[in-house]
Amino acid sequence: MTLAAFKNRASQNQEAWRYTNLDTLLSPAALDAEPFPHGPHACPFKTCLVFLNGIFEPSMSRFGSVPSCLLMGDRDSGYSLTLGEQTCLVAHPVELVFASDSKAPDEIPLKFSISLGKNARLSLLENHRASAVPVSVETSVTLAPHAKFVHGKIVSGGPHLALYTVHAAEGSFYTNTSLLRRTRPARNEFSVHLDGQGAQVSLNGIMFLNGHDHADTTAHVLHNAPHCTSRQSYKSVLDESARGVFQGRITVAPHAQKTDGYQISRALLLSDKAEMDSKPELEIYADDVSCRHGNSVGDLDPDALFYLRSRGLDEKAARDLLIQGFLADALDSLPVEAWGSSFRHELGLEPL
Amino acid sequence: MLEIKNLHVAIDGKEILKGIDLSLPDGQVHAIMGPNGSGKSTLSYVLAGRDGYTVTQGSVTLKGKDILSLSPDQRAAQGVFLAMQYPVEIPGVTTMSFLKTALNALRKARGQNPLDALQILKLLREKAKALDLSQELLSRAVNVGFSGGEKKRNEVLQMAVLEPSLCLLDETDSGLDIDALRVVANGVNALRAPSRSMLVITHYQRLLDYIKPDVVHVLAYGKIRQSGGPELAKELEKTGYAAFAREDA
């Protein structure tokens, strides 16, 4: 989907975009205000597929022990990753690195189709390096019964728009953990359809923003079958004039009995000018369900700050340690251990 | 070590301390006793540098240097340590990483080389053992889910690790049963040294059976009303604080 298509989508559903105005945020003035330097494309993982300016570059990539037929397609028709029945790539986490350089076009549209066969397993980290030009991602995910897709995402900066549409069949599992940084702006949107009985989804993320960053996480989980479980858990740390948005929506179809849904958004505001907008929505048409949501916005605990400072930590060290503590459970529960260093590095945190 | 002269402190414009004079020599332990609301905790917070307290008059020096102009971390670097009445919970930060960060921050401020993770682990294990604190506690988040006794022992553990020269103990006995009190007191007594002074703030005489003070001061209505030897504490236990009626009453 191109930038124009995203804008068109936004104009047709203003309520869903009320906190993220693409016309303003992506105006030429906003884009030129502080362009990002293009990030590097080095990658620490054994299996690392590099896309430069939206085009897959085999010469920069490493397939490791993963067959190269995993990835098919091209920029214009879109790329596809397909795992056949029983195929398991969990032991070889795949990293997709998206980088751009001075030859980048005005915008980089990316289109992916990811499909996992019955019982297939995939761990995939999308690593979007800082980009000076808008990147838009349109990804559709199809999970066959009992497939498991562990999906991670890091956005290191720049304008970024993404829409993930997931269809999960019986007993399948989808989890995403996204880290959004230096986004001017970002919209990270999920539409997850739990179509088969017992399907599970877990959406998690960290928005770590400062300056005039703007990040919007919008997640819509549709319980279309009984006995499905959904979790949404987001943490935001907002400094200076940053703005975070979390819109979490759970829709439970009339026959989706025994649904178990939960969503929580917690935000830490480090400045008077930072802003967090949270909008939880529950739409429940079944009667035997458990759906809960929670939301908190606060600043650093002054008692805790004094406690740390009285032990010798200067103000910055004390704040950093409390922020690290705030994010600890999100970082400790990453589904792929090897992602920990990538996430911590991106956050500028030392390993604990 | 510590010289407090004519210290007046106000919170939100209300005067709480109304001229404290106290001289704590090197190596001595002084107790401050007093009724609730007398300003005992205010004194400990002001010495440690907490926000919200306005010093309207007077001076406080540590080893001859003014500390009132210093931030809490600068005071810690100068050797001030406050064992708090209500230790704060820090979710997500393990006691281990907290103490590693704190110790290395203090070592840096004192011109010493930082210790590596292994050295710190060894040091913490040794000190925790002496305080009968389980090692498992070191890998848990600071004070989160700790019992009252564990929190107080954790304060003494931090004191043992950070090696301050001035220890302020604010109601360290509150919430402790007699066994925990003994462990905490033993931990504190093990830290008594010629180069270290302690100010023990307590409501009850009980703690002073275990931590023997050189001098006992009675703080009531914002002033030190009487000072004496350990026998003063015993006397107060019998007579209570009624004798120290409001000066302005």
Please tell me chain A's helix, strand, coil percentages from 3-state DSSP, rounded to the nearest 5. 20, 45, 35
Within-domain flag for B67? yes
Instruction: Give the gap in angstroms from C-alpha A310 to the nearest C-alpha of chain B.
Output: 5
Phi, psi (rounded to 5 degrees) for A286:
-105, 160
Task: Inform me whether the C-beta atom of residue B204 falls under 8 Å from chain A C-beta atoms.
Answer: no
- In this complex, do B141 and A352 lie within 8 Å of one another by their Cβ atoms? no
| A287/B37: higher pLDDT | A287
Lowest mean pLDDT among A32-46, A104-118, B185-199: A32-46
Q: In this complex, do B90 and A312 lie within 8 Å of one another by their Cβ atoms?
A: no
Average pLDDT over residues A202-216: 96
Look-up of token digits 């919170």: B11
Joined tokens for residue A60: 């920069």
**A309, A321, A327 ranked by CB distance to B73: nearest:** A309
Does residue B245 fall inside a structural domain? Answer: no
pLDDT reported for residue A34: 63
Extract the residue ranges of chain B whose pLDDT is less than 50.
249
Chain segment A212-248, per-residue pLDDT in tens? 999 999 999 999 999 999 999 999 999 999 999 999 9
First to last CA, chain A: 40
B246 assigned to some structural domain? no
Supply the CATH number for residue B89's domain.
3.40.50.300
For B88, the closest chain A residue by CA position comes to A304
Closest CA to B94 of A209, A331, A347, A205: A331
- Closest residue of chain A to B93, computed from CA coordinates: A325
Q: What angle do CA A218, A202, A170 make, to 5 degrees?
A: 110
B247 within some domain? no
CB B76 to CB A311 under 8 A? Answer: yes
Which has the closest alpha carbon to A266: A243, A292, A250, A246?
A: A246
Using the predicted structure, report yes or no on whether residue A318 has a pLDDT greater than 60: yes
CA separation for the pair A91, A87 (Å, rounded): 11
* ipTM > 0.85 (yes/no): yes
Express each pLDDT in A51-102 by its tens digit. 999 999 998 898 888 888 889 999 999 999 999 999 888 888 899 999 998 8
CB A79 within 8 A of CB A71: yes
The whole-angstrom distance between A148's CA and the closest CA on chain B is 29
Low-confidence winner among A128-137, A162-171, B169-178 (lowest mean pLDDT): B169-178
CB pairs A-B closer than 8 Å: 87
Distance from CA of A331 to the nearest CA of B (A): 10
Considering only the beta carbons, identify the residue of B51, B81, B101 that sits closest to A313: B101
Q: How many domains does chain B have?
A: 1
Q: Which residues pair with B200 in a beta bridge?
A: B31, B169
Q: Is residue B228 part of a domain?
A: yes
Asked whether residue B17 is assigned to any structural domain, the reply reads: yes
Interface test with A, best of B90, B95, B112 (most A CBs within 10 A): B90
Tell me the residue range of the domain where B171 lies. 2-239
Query: What's the average model confidence in pLDDT over A101-107?
Result: 90
Report the first-to-last Cα separation within chain B, whole angstroms.
Answer: 35
Residue range A15-38, pLDDT digits in tens: 899 999 888 888 877 777 666 666
Interface test with B, best of A309, A310, A349 (most B CBs within 10 A): A310
Q: Is B223 domain-assigned? A: yes
Contact A325 B93 (CB under 8 A): yes
Mean pLDDT of chain A: 92
Tokens of B153: 């022992």
Residues 6+ apart with CB under 8 A from A203: A175, A176, A190, A192, A219, A221, A230, A231, A232, A233, A234
Q: Residues of B213-234 as b/e, b for ≥16 C-beta within 10 angstroms?
A: bebbbbbbbbbbbeeeebebbe
The answer on pLDDT for A352 being more than 60 is: no
Contact B59, B6 (CB under 8 A): yes
For chain B, the 3-state helix, strand and coil shares in percent, each to the nearest 5, are 35, 30, 35
Average pLDDT (A190-217) is 97
Residue-level pLDDT at B249: 41
